[in-house]
Amino acid sequence: MGSEYIAPVRLAILEADTPVPGIKAKYGSYGGVFRNLFEQACATLNPPQPLSAQLDLSYHDIVNDLDAYPDPEAIDAVLITGSKYSAYENDEWIIRLVQYTRRCLEGGRVRVVGVCFGHQIVGRAMGADVGKNSRGWEISVTEHELTEEGKKLFGMEKIFIHEMHRDAVFSLPPGVTKLAHTDVCDVQGMYVPRRLITVQGHPEFTGDMVREILEMRRYGGIITQDLFEDGMRRVNNKHDGVAVARAFLRFLRE
C-alpha cells in the first residue's frame, strides 16, 4: 500500500512592507523571500522534499490593499512578515492587521506565524505591551538564549539569527510560552501549540540582504556609524534561519 497523501498547508503570507531595491529585484516581494527560506528548509528535511509537498503559498499586500486579506476559511495558516513600520502605531492598515490576527487566533483553526513586526503584531493582538525599546537597536546576526521549550522546538541549545529592530514586545500574553531572549530584548519568541509561533529576529534574512538594509539605514541617518560598523562585522556570521524555518514547518503540522 502507498503512503497516505497529506495535503500541503495553505499558508498565506501577509506582506507588511516592500523590500529594499536589491531584495525586490531578486525576490519580488517578501513573499518571495519567505518562499526562498522555506525551499531551503524543505531541502534539508529527512528525506528532502519539494516546497509544494509542504506548503501552498499565497502572498497578500496588506499595506497597499486593505481588502487583500484571505478568507480564513480558505487557508490553514498565516505568516506576518517584518516591516519598517511600528506595530504599536494606529494607521488604518495596522489596526486592520491587528483585528485580522486576533480573529485568526480566536477562531482556533488558522495558525499564526509572526516574524519581527509580525511577532509584535501578534503580541499586540493578544494584549501585550509593545513599544520602542529603550535598550536600543539589535542588528545583524545575534545570539539568542533559548528557554527549555525553545530548545525543544528548534532542536538546538541556542540559536543565531539576524535582527533588525528597535521595537519590542515587553510582556508575555497570558497562556503564551516564551522561546528565547537576548540582553537587549527579553521576549524574542512566543509559542502556543497549534495556535501561534513567533520570533523577533529574521530567519529569512541573508548577509547580502542585511548589508543592503544597514547601508540604507546608515545613509538615511536611522542608525549611527558605530552601530553600522558593529552590524557589518557580524553580517556574514553563520546563522540558523533555516533551522527556524524547519521549526515553523513542524509547528504547521502539529
Whether 42 is a known active-site residue: answer: no
Residue 24, CA distances (Å) to 19, 27, 209 in order = 5, 5, 10
**Separation CA 74–CA 77 (nearest Å):** 10
Whether 116 is a known active-site residue: answer: yes
**Separation CA 70–CA 193 (nearest Å):** 23
The three-class DSSP label of residue 164 is strand
Catalytic residue chosen out of the listed positions 163, 165, 204, 239: 204
Q: What residues contact 101, with CB distance under 8 A and at least 6 apart? A: 78, 80, 112, 121, 122, 125
Catalytic residue chosen out of the listed positions 60, 162, 165, 202: 202
| Interval 46-84: pLDDT, tens | 999 999 999 999 999 999 999 999 999 999 999 999 999
Containing H/E element for 9?
Answer: strand 9-15
- Report CA torsion sign: 42, 48, 49, 54: negative
- As beta bridge partners, residue 167 has 132
Enter the pTM of the model: 0.96
Whether 181 is a known active-site residue: answer: no
**Separation CA 241–CA 104 (nearest Å):** 25
**Separation CA 141–CA 207 (nearest Å):** 9
Catalytic residue chosen out of the listed positions 116, 162, 163, 165: 116
From first to last of its 254 residues, the chain has per-residue pLDDT tens of 456 788 999 999 999 999 999 999 999 999 999 999 999 999 999 999 999 999 999 999 999 999 999 999 999 999 999 999 999 999 999 999 999 999 999 999 999 999 999 999 999 999 999 999 999 999 999 999 999 999 999 999 999 999 999 999 999 999 999 999 999 999 999 999 999 999 999 999 999 999 999 999 999 999 999 999 999 999 999 999 999 999 999 999 99
